[in-house]
Copies of this chain bind each other. A is one copy, B any other.
Amino acid sequence: MVERATADPHVHRVRVYYEDTDHTGVVYHPNYLNYFERAREHLIGVDRLVRLLRVEGVGFVIYKVEMRCRRSAVYGDELEVHTTATRANDYQLTFHHKLYRARTRELLVDGHVLLACVDRNGDVAPLPESVLAVLEPG
């Protein structure tokens, strides 16, 4: 199977609040994964995720995370998460995230997150068509 990526990255804007920072003055690093998570939810569609979970009993679990922190975000920053996705196999998706400071276009953090689709019992399940349709619109 040929990996296919979404053509244009999905862009999700994030504001850095008090809650995101730590006493060293910058964003506490696990919060970058929160930003990535929010971006994925918007890319797939929060309403679609809710419906999948409640009606079909299908959700996603994290398998693997890689993240490289190049520069720190600070309080008050407006950030953009640019996200694309590739189908790893019939059950797994990899999301590719790049976090930029909106004003300066600096790349702050980038990463890859591998997720698997699972059913109510936690067993792997095929990626839903409705999700693939969003990620591979062509």
B47 close to A18 (CB less than 8 A)? no
Q: In the complex the two chains form, what is the Cα distance from A131 to B37 in whole Å?
A: 34
Contacts A17-B38, A30-B34, A47-B76 given; 12 further ones with Cβ under 8 A?
A15-B46, A17-B34, A19-B28, A21-B23, A23-B75, A24-B53, A29-B37, A29-B65, A33-B33, A46-B75, A62-B69, A66-B67
Identical chains bound together, number: 4
Main secondary structure of the interface of A (DSSP, over half): mixed
Cβ of A89 under 8 Å from chain B? no
Contact B65 A50 (CB under 8 A): no
Let me know if A119 is at the binding interface, CB within 8 A: no
Chain B neighbourhood of A41, CB < 8 A: 17-18
